Amino acid sequence: ELKVEQNPLFLSMQEGKNYTIYCNYSTTSDRLYWYRQDPGKSLESLFVLLSNGAVKQEGRLMASLDTKARLSTLHITAAVHDLSATYFCAVFPIQGAQKLVFGQGTRLTINP
Amino acid sequence: KAGVTQTPRYLIKTRGQQVTLSCSPISGHRSVSWYQQTPGQGLQFLFEYFSETQRNKGNFPGRFSGRQFSNSRSEMNVSTLELGDSALYLCASSLAGGGSTGELFFGEGSRLTVL
C-alpha cells in the first residue's frame, strides 16, 4: 500500500529565509501534486509533477520530482508571511487502487 | 468558470442521525472524489465516481455511501452518525480520461460536527 511521508511536519521560519519541504513515497508513481491549505479553507492546487526530473516554479515556490528516489521537494525562497499555510503532497500510484494518497501535511509558519 | 461547489458548508448533527452532502463538479469534469479530513487521520480517500459508477473505494465502513448522477453531481451519505465522523468532507473533481493530468480540484468542503 502506498504511503506518503512529509518532513518536517511543522516548520517555523523567518521572512527572507530559504527552506525545503520533503515528500517521500513508498511505491512507484508518475504523478505527484502539491496543494496548499489555509486554516479553515479548502485545498488549492500548486503544482502538478508528471515526470522524472520535472521542475516547476511559481513565485517563491519551486517543486521538483525524482521518481527514481521517490522523492519530491518543495523549496521556498526568501519566504514571506503570506506563504504561511499547510502544504500537502499527494501521489497517485501506478498500480493498485487509483486514489490520491496524501502526506500528513507540513504546517509552515513564517514570522516577520 | 465555476469551481467545485459543495453544500451545505456547515452542519451539526447528533449521534445516530444521518447526513447527505452534495457536490457539483466543475463543468465538463466527469470524475468526482470524496475525502475526509480530520486532525488525527489527515486526508483520507472515501470514494470516487466516474460516469455514475463507483470506480474506487477507501477503507471506510458501509455507513458511508455515495452516488453520482447523470449530470456528474454527486452526493455522499453517512448513516448512523458517530462522534468520530466529525470532519471536513472535501469533494474534488477532475477531467479523468486520456490526456488528463489527473489533477484534482477541491471544493470548499462541508464541515460536519456530530454531537
In 3D space, the residue among B93, B94, B63, B86 whose CA is nearest the CA of residue B76 turns out to be B63
Q: Is the pLDDT of residue B99 over 60?
A: no
Q: How far is A17 from chain B (nearest CA, A)?
A: 28
User: What is the mean pLDDT of the segment spanning B66-86?
Assistant: 97
The kind and range of the H/E element at B102 are: none
SS3 A9: coil
Query: CB distance A98–B56 less than 8 Å?
Result: yes
Residues of B with CB under 8 A from a CB of A: 33, 35, 42-43, 45, 48, 55-56, 58, 90, 92, 101-109
| Burial bucket for residue A48 (CB in 10 Å: 0-12, 13-18, 19+) | middle
pLDDT at A2: 87
For chains A and B, CB pairs below 8 A equal: 47
pLDDT digits (tens, 9 = 90+) for B35-71: 999 998 999 999 999 989 998 899 999 999 999 999 9
- Contacts of B94 by beta carbon, 8 Å cutoff, 6+ apart: B29, B31, B33, B100, B102, B103, B104, B105
Residues of B in contact with A104 (CB under 8 A): 42
| Residue stretches of chain A with pLDDT short of 50 | none
The kind and range of the H/E element at A82 are: none
pLDDT at A71: 96
| Set of cell numbers at residue A84 | 504561511
- Contacts of B35 by beta carbon, 8 Å cutoff, 6+ apart: A102, B43, B44, B45, B46, B89, B90, B91, B92
What does each C-alpha distance from B30 to B76, B78, B93 come to in angstroms? 16, 23, 7
**Across chain B, what does the average pLDDT equal?**
92
Query: CB distance A100–B104 less than 8 Å?
Result: yes
pLDDT at A31: 87
